[in-house]
A and B are shown apart, each in its own frame.
Chain A
Amino acid sequence: MATKKVTPTDEFVKGLWRDNPVFVQVLGMCPALAVSNTAMNALAMGLATTFVLLMSGLSVSLLRNFIPREARIVSFICIIATFVTSVDYLIMAISLELHRALGAFIALIVVNCLILGRAEAFASKNNPGRALLDGLGMGVGFTLALLFIGVVREILGSGSIFGFAVLPDTFQTWTVMVLPSGGFFAMALWLLIVNRLKQREVEAARQAQGVVS
């Protein structure tokens, strides 16, 4: 099999679009919908998840020769839970209000299938450098996806972005957007857009190869 050299940049970039955790892999949806009712919450959640992704990916990669196959999942879960606990206390130390806004969802990062998935599929099979890049890329992609959803929900549901009013007072806010239903709708909207863009990508690639479509 001809090995295609995967450059470090590619490791990072793939998480942003091609393998975007939320819109392509459809992982980590729980926090994507739950904590994205304002852009600020979405950003904080994305950053916290990125932190856990980085630290746990790094740890798993460093320890990968030490953990036998049978003890894999248990060890991964333990490591991820450790860093989730850490980020929980770190956020409490930084800002109590932020911690209160994110609530139990910080602890729920531990069951974000994205992190376990990356640990299993990538970090346990690659060196620390690449694991870091992969974690960073996935984390940024995740944060961006959350931001997209959060910004739409906040603008339509509260008329603001990051707390700054951007729509005039006369705008009747669509409160449903900051309610759970709005989360589902906003996600569906972005998924549609992403699907359409990917469809165009595939069509363009096919035409470029001269295949009769």
Chain B
Amino acid sequence: MNAPLIQPQTSAWSIYRAIVGIGVFCALVIVIVFQSTAERIKRNQERFLAAAISEVLPATKSTIAVDLGEDGQLVATTESLTLPVFLSYDEQNRLVGAVLAAEGMGYQDNIRVLYSYSFEQHAIVGFKILDSKETPGLGDRVEIEPHFIANFEALDVRLNDNGDQLNNRIVTVKQGEKNNPWQIDGITGATITSEAIGNLLNDSAGIWIPILERDAATIESMPAGGQ
């Protein structure tokens, strides 16, 4: 009973067959699951985005996704980007503003936000956090703290005379020290997250607002029932 068993060496063929067989099986399962959930996932994402856009710019009735074309001009696009930018139109197809997604490194991980820009007021008029993993009770207060949210009712992002950059940097200041419309009143105890939001908004707006101001009118608004 204790004699050592000589194990027959498994043939290379059976090993090869097993690995390929498993590979095929796994590939099948993944593709089936992927295909059957793709529709549902896409609808979830669209619904979420549409709800978020309405939240930051309620006057929106239709949107056109835009991106930078090869020559640096704004163009309408059908590609879904990681950080989409939309032009918003009301029922009469008048341009009411732009909605942009931006992201930047917070304390724990990347923070993704959605904000709206009003061409009339030259200011950011809406703001929503899409994705954040900040510390609960501390960093995540940027989502609920009333005085912080009030920052984004009219955050000044006026352009300079050349029209090629923001006249004033968006900068986060200590809670209670906001003196200018382009400053963000921070949250004590959530400094890093507040500053991160200031930085990511500044970077995003610095790139996009000049382009939008220059080119937004050139995008043909689609007939009613656009996107």
Number of interface residues of A (CB under 8 A): 32
Provide the main secondary structure of the chain A interface.
helix
Given A89-B37, A96-B45, decide whether A175 and B136 contact each other with a Cβ distance below 8 A.
yes
0 or 1 for each of A65-84: is its CB under 8 Å from B? (1 = yes): 01111110011001101110
Residues of B within 8 A of A86 (CB): 29-30, 33
Residues of A within 8 A of B22 (CB): 63, 67, 71, 75, 78-79
Residues of B within 8 A of A70 (CB): 10, 15
Flag whether A211 is at the interface (Cβ < 8 A): no
Q: Are B138 and A82 closer than 8 Å at their CB atoms? A: no
Given A75-B18, A100-B131, decide whether A83 and B29 contact each other with a Cβ distance below 8 A.
yes
Residues of B within 8 A of A175 (CB): 135-138
Q: Once bound together, how far apart are the Cα atoms of A120 and B138, in whole Å?
A: 43
Choice from A78, A85, A96 contacting B33 with Cβ under 8 Å: A85
Q: Once bound together, how far apart are the Cα atoms of A70 and B26, in whole Å?
A: 19
Choice from B34, B41, B133, B137 contacting A157 with Cβ under 8 Å: B137
Chain A contacts with B in 24-65, Cβ cutoff 8 A: 37, 59, 63
Flag whether A179 is at the interface (Cβ < 8 A): yes
Flag whether A192 is at the interface (Cβ < 8 A): no
Chain B contacts with A in 25-84, Cβ cutoff 8 A: 25-26, 29-30, 33-34, 37, 40-41, 44-45, 48
Residues of B within 8 A of A (CB): 10, 14-15, 18-19, 21-23, 25-26, 29-30, 33-34, 37, 40-41, 44-45, 48, 131, 133, 135-138
